[in-house]
Structure 1
């Protein structure tokens, strides 16, 4: 296999402001015990408060989780969303990418990372011979777009976190890429800035995680020189590719 060309990561894509955000809304709270599961006929009973958890193991598969997300009312973002944005990619992928939240195009299509930042993410993956539909499973900290593409609040992230944890359990990735500071805070509760954490291997619940710069940030930083955000991301993705190959080749 030929070594991927670095220039493919650095092709210009014009910035688009609508490439980040999340959503959900209010309903009648139902108290769940740790052993409870939510049957399809009870999807209208989704706990409306982020203080009421959805227990691990609630969903038997990703399809059931997706159906549940479509009618979620756990925070007030549901009132303004067009579509819930659950995921895209391969549910059996060994690499999971977690972003911040849907932007305008994601809200319109119901798919994550389809705007300008998503196009750049596809190029980043291709630069290390990874295919977005075959090799990765992509989701977000929150599944609904916040008004004005603002950063999701801690409360909104907390309301959506049980869905994300179930996605991780069901997909069972070898490596998790955390794209941007919001993804790092939302999953790891890590307060350090993304520029300090990017490129470092972190362990979370027995899984390898690597924070990387969000593609939307790369769109605003055009330099391709050594030490620039795009150059650093190229180094990070090569490390991820190599570790992924190492892990997947082990018995």
Structure 2
């Protein structure tokens, strides 16, 4: 009969228990990996991991498309969320007509090389009463172009999950891109194309007059805040918006990761969640 523990009678090495699923070396390897991950998170500015219903929904979203803008049916708030109870200021009708006229100008733009090498123009989504403006880098579309796809198919789903996690409806959010044209597949806009869109973005800010701007991605952060350096060092705090020139307190820009980056680096969703919470508190203040 085979023995599974203890010393053999003839002085041979004891037989290791085959039912053991975890030994000392496994524990050391696991602890080392965990220590490395925690050090990396500390370098990213992640000091705590808040457990809340909103975080659970953000980390494990239900994959469903964002509700259409024309759907005016009342929405049911997820349990545990606190809606940003902000009454938007009354906007003159010229804000709506101004955005429509701006959209036509963008469609007809021929200022840079993207005019002849693009899939199309991506239209902003939102209305003049939005309290939050979200600005991404540019749209990436590999499976057929749609002017209504803001960042990308999967990226748009994540974006609206992020907005719902801080209690915002599509009517409260205006979404646009730093670069208005959707490049051809695998192309990245050059600096000339980025600069040519500065004026369009500045006019959107002037017309919408959001309370806060959320810049998603390195290009958006650089254009809106003029900040240089790695996004990992710039995220998690507000920066004055250099494209807004209204009197009074400067418009603030929160720098955070783009949904495209988060889909490839899921460990950084917690850091992005902290950024979203800062935006939520600013809107509720």
Residue 10 (str. 1) matches residue 52 (str. 2): no
Q: Which runs of 4+ in 1 moved over 3 A?
A: none
**Match of 1:190, SS?**
coil
- 1 CA distance for matches of 2:238 and 2:56? 25
Residue 118 (str. 1) matches residue 162 (str. 2): no
Selected match of 1:212 from 243, 256, 262:
256
Shift of 1:79: 1.4
Change (3 A) 1:155 1:208: same
**Contact kept in structure 1, 2:179 and 2:197, CA below 8 Å:** yes
Change (3 A) 1:157 1:76: same
Determine the structure 2 residue equivalent to 1:43: none
Residue 154 (str. 1) matches residue 188 (str. 2): no
Report the aligned-residue RMSD.
Answer: 2.4
**Match of 1:158, SS?**
helix
Q: How many residues align?
A: 195
Change (3 A) 1:64 1:107: farther
| Higher RCO structure, 1 or 2 (CA under 8 Å, sep 6+) | 1
- Larger mean Cα displacement after TM superposition, 97-106 or 162-171: 97-106
TM-superposition CA deviations, 1:72-110 (whole Å, max 9, x none): 101111213233113002321010000001111697111
Determine the structure 2 residue equivalent to 1:230: 269
TM-score of the pair, normalised by structure 2: 0.63
Change (3 A) 1:207 1:107: farther
**Match of 1:89, SS?**
coil
Shift of 1:189: 2.5
Shift of 1:134: 1.2
Shift of 1:11: 2.4
**Contact kept in structure 2, 1:85 and 1:106, CA below 8 Å:** no
List alignment gaps of at least 5 residues for structure 1: 15-58, 224-228, 247-251
Determine the structure 2 residue equivalent to 1:240: 279
TM-superposition CA deviations, 1:91-134 (whole Å, max 9, x none): 21010000001111697111213511111111111111112x21
Residue 85 (str. 1) matches residue 122 (str. 2): yes
Change (3 A) 1:231 1:169: same
List alignment gaps of at least 5 residues for structure 2: 1-51, 64-95, 245-249
**Contact kept in structure 1, 2:224 and 2:253, CA below 8 Å:** no
- Answer with 1 or 2: which has the greater Rg: 2
Determine the structure 1 residue equivalent to 2:3: none
- 2 CA distance for matches of 1:12 and 1:203? 32
